[in-house]
Structure 1
Amino acid sequence: MSHPPVRRALVRRLPVAAACAALSLGAAAQANPYYLQLQQSFTHDTNLFRERDGQEDSDLISTTGLEVGLDQPISRQRLRARAHVERNRFRDNDHLDNTSYGVGVRADLETVNRISGGLHYNHERNLASFDTYTGSVHLTERNMIRRQDYGARIQYGGMSLLTLEAGYVHRDQKYSADAFQNREQRSDTVQAGVRYRPSDLVGFGLAGRYTRGRIPHYTPTEGDKYKRRDLDLTATWVPTGLSTLNARVSLTSTDHDLAEARDFDGVTGAISWRYQPTGKLTLNLHLVRETNDETGFYLAEPETPDEPPQLATLQETKLIHSARLSATWAATAKIRLTGGVRHVDRNIRVTDGRGNDRTTTAELGASYAITRSILFGCNVGWVQRDTSSGAASVSYDYSSRTASCLARLTLN
């Protein structure tokens, strides 16, 4: 038995119901905290092992990756997590085939009593970069590096004029190659300080840091222990809504039990400047002056809080100076151009010699987002290392060119 009036009423309401369902699905999509990412890339390297000029060995590397992530606000708290795995295959050097992976978790915590803080954990496994080697240690075998760091921070004061801060970080670095056991390192750092913020545009901080570290296999029979003390003066300046400057100057003292050539007393620090002159163009500048004990983990701070830190392999050095300038230009809503240049100056100290080298890296890339989920991109890069006179025993000249393209699918 049919009911025309009821049917006509239902038909009239269908557009309204469909619109409500679409709005609900759109809101659910926007609120979805999860994402899944698939990526395939191919990279050609003209000097895979970073050999001396005239001894280059080129190769083509295929990387297939999967990443899952989470970004979920929970009341006053926020939880971020990501996990990725990649299968890397080499066309001509299949002994380097490997599986790399990483896990990262970060929790930002806040209470109603002006107390905030956070917890973080990161674990990464990758093929160690060949361009960080010195002349005294150079391998062509597969050498996997594992890095792990975790820690906690706490802050009291909220948005008040003065805030108290404290934190703890544990770091650990290991290699699979026996020849690199003397570069393995672990450390624990505690810090405490005060921050003064007279306005939203400027802030200052004063803190003390204390680090105890160990290189377990510095020699075949003995491990090296070291202690590092830092007095940090930090500043943040936001001259306009387009520019942000962060700076740190530290009085640093490091004492090693065995590796006395790496002892250091002096000034270290870092400067980070972010400038966005237009809605499409963003510039980032990073300057770093650090000792071996810190640059073994972080050579440059991430450009945004959501980015993982840029990790560097532990160097056999006493002091490293690094400068990096990068730019991003959103040419259109779908096309993005990127470019950057980095210069690293190493003061090398090894058992059989000492010297200096300078490595310059430049990159240029472009990406095209076909849809919100599908992206294609290509990148070219150049690397050039030059050594100072008398440094032949610890370093050597080389150059390399790379070209890569990728396809990425993101679902959320």
Structure 2
Amino acid sequence: MRRAVLALPLLSATAALAEGNPWGIAGELDITHDSNVLRAPTGSAVSDTIFSAGLRGQLDQGIGRERLRVNALLEHNRFQNQRELDNLSHEVTVGLSFEPGNLVFGELNLRNARNLANRTLDNGTVLAQGNLERQTQANLRLSKGVVTTWTLVGGLDAFQRRESDAAFRSQNLSRNSMDLGVRYQSTPELGLTALLRHTQGEYPNLGAGDDFSRNDVELRLTWEPSGASQLEARLVRGVESHSLATVSDGSQWSGSVQWAWQLSGKTRLFSRLARDSDTGARDSNSSSTDTITSYSDARVRTTLDLGVRWQATGKIAVDAAASRSQRSLSASLQGGTSNSAGSDRTQTLQLTATYQALRNLQFSCRAAREQRSTSGVVAGLSFPYSSTSYGCSVQAWLR
């Protein structure tokens, strides 16, 4: 199931494979209590307890000059009271790094996932049944060294989202993009990349269908002022055009800045500020922490993430994270004729404690709070809600 977790880079915690052993298999058990399991509007919340049992597999194998990485998770989720939401979810990712020679490097990544999602419509109507969302992604990245400090870079990306429930079919999305650019690496600590990107996509079930295209110019900066600090920044100027949701037409600025700092041997800090105006970008962006959101694209979305990890001992770690996301909404983005517009703000707090009892045995407990508020005319676009959840899990590895 899709749990309310913050997907910050410093908080991602998958067990590392033992040195010299390319594979691992793990069994997982999790129990979570949620005060608003349906993400219903304020005053209509229903609590429930979810029991999850999963099987996870990992492979990290070198093959000559190539490297293959596979991660797979199959999970059965059972609700104590809302049995119509019981589901079988999965996620499989495959990555292949290759180096054919002549300063050419490449990476191919594939992902397929199915999870329970979107239990409440944008207008606040709670559905009796669960909606299963399937995402399929593929991307290919290539680079070609030219001289010592210059590298040609490019890539292809494809993304598809499909919803099982008819009430959410308007959110089905297909998107393909290609980019080409150059990277300048003056020193190992400082790099600058310039990219041109073209994107084509469609919402096939939004009204009569909404086709869109987008052209971007993007600048990226990576800087490591010290061995304990890393800074990444993106600045994007995009021009977008839609056949139906024409309110999104025009040019906009977007970008992000993120900073990671190893404060001490035990403490690591992370922060990220992002402004997004790219159609559908949030849906495939694993760094986003807007855990419960409409897929009716916001005109502008601004997100601030903050996190800290404290490695209390060699076996005990504590993660704390906070997020605030604000969206500017418009009914026209859903293909309607209404001019209603407003905004919503989602705030999330989470605390997680992890205990590595043995090399192959890990326990963790977490508590989280989500809250969304609205302003302006947002009827049919968003609604206020809140949720408190807590739970524990155990993961045992065989490798």
Question: Alignment partner for residue 58 of structure 1, among 35, 41, 47?
Answer: 47
Task: Give the Cα–Cα distance (whole angstroms) in 2 for the partners of residues 377 and 313 of structure 1.
Answer: 30
TM-score, length of structure 1 as denominator length: 0.87
- SS of corresponding position for 1:297: helix
**How much has 1:215 moved relative to structure 2?**
0.6
**Structure with greater Cα Rg:** 1
**How much has 1:231 moved relative to structure 2?**
0.1
- SS of corresponding position for 1:48: coil
> 2:69 is matched with which residue?
80
- Equivalent residues of 1:292, 1:320 under 8 A apart: no
Paired amino acid for 1:82: N
Question: Alignment partner for residue 243 of structure 1, among 206, 215, 229?
Answer: 229
- Equivalent residues of 2:294, 2:382 under 8 A apart: no
TM-score, length of structure 2 as denominator length: 0.89
Q: Deviations over 1:258-298 (max 9, x none)?
A: 01122241101122211111122112222221125143423
1:258-407 equivalences under 5 Å are: 258-291=244-277, 293-301=279-287, 314-350=295-331, 351=336, 352=338, 353-407=340-394
Shifted more, 313-322 versus 77-86: the winner is 313-322
Paired amino acid for 2:328: N
- Equivalent residues of 1:362, 1:382 under 8 A apart: yes
Task: Give the Cα–Cα distance (whole angstroms) in 1 for the partners of residues 23 and 139 of structure 2.
Answer: 24
Task: Give the Cα–Cα distance (whole angstroms) in 1 for the partners of residues 368 and 124 of structure 2.
Answer: 26
Q: Deviations over 1:60-95 (max 9, x none)?
A: 000101011101122322111111100000001000
Q: Deviations over 1:105-141 (max 9, x none)?
A: 001111331110111100000001447x522665342
- Equivalent residues of 2:144, 2:151 under 8 A apart: yes
Paired amino acid for 2:329: I
1:206-245 equivalences under 5 Å are: 206-219=194-207, 222-245=208-231
Relative to its length, the structure with more helix (as a share) is: 1
Q: Does 2:144 match 1:163?
A: no
Question: Alignment partner for residue 104 of structure 1, among 88, 93, 97?
Answer: 93
Task: Give the Cα–Cα distance (whole angstroms) in 2 for the partners of residues 86 and 314 of structure 1.
Answer: 24
> 1:306 is matched with which residue?
none
- Equivalent residues of 2:341, 2:376 under 8 A apart: no
- SS of corresponding position for 2:167: helix
Q: Check 1:137–1:245 CA distance in 2 against 1; reply closer, same or farther (3 A cut).
A: farther
- SS of corresponding position for 1:31: coil
- SS of corresponding position for 1:32: coil
- Equivalent residues of 1:106, 1:120 under 8 A apart: yes
Paired amino acid for 1:366: A
**How much has 1:228 moved relative to structure 2?**
0.7
- SS of corresponding position for 2:382: coil
> 2:29 is matched with which residue?
40
Q: Check 1:271–1:359 CA distance in 2 against 1; reply closer, same or farther (3 A cut).
A: same
Question: Alignment partner for residue 93 of structure 1, among 82, 94, 119?
Answer: 82
Shifted more, 313-322 versus 294-303: the winner is 294-303
Paired amino acid for 1:72: Q
Task: Give the Cα–Cα distance (whole angstroms) in 1 for the partners of residues 210 and 125 of structure 2.
Answer: 19
> 2:169 is matched with which residue?
181
Give the fraction of aligned pairs with identical amino acids, expressed as a percent.
31
Task: Give the Cα–Cα distance (whole angstroms) in 2 for the partners of residues 362 and 186 of structure 1.
Answer: 32
- Equivalent residues of 1:299, 1:312 under 8 A apart: no
Paired amino acid for 2:221: A
Q: Check 1:312–1:195 CA distance in 2 against 1; reply closer, same or farther (3 A cut).
A: farther
Unaligned runs of 5+ in 1: 1-27, 304-309
Paired amino acid for 2:314: A
Q: Deviations over 1:131-159 (max 9, x none)?
A: 7x522665342100000011211100188
Paired amino acid for 1:241: G
**How much has 1:393 moved relative to structure 2?**
4.3
- Equivalent residues of 2:32, 2:51 under 8 A apart: yes
- SS of corresponding position for 2:43: coil
- SS of corresponding position for 1:217: coil
Q: Check 1:312–1:140 CA distance in 2 against 1; reply closer, same or farther (3 A cut).
A: same
- Equivalent residues of 2:119, 2:131 under 8 A apart: no
RCO higher in 1 or 2 (8 Å CA, sep ≥ 6)?
A: 2
- Equivalent residues of 1:42, 1:406 under 8 A apart: yes
**How much has 1:29 moved relative to structure 2?**
6.0
Task: Give the Cα–Cα distance (whole angstroms) in 2 for the partners of residues 88 and 371 of structure 1.
Answer: 26
Q: Check 1:313–1:38 CA distance in 2 against 1; reply closer, same or farther (3 A cut).
A: farther
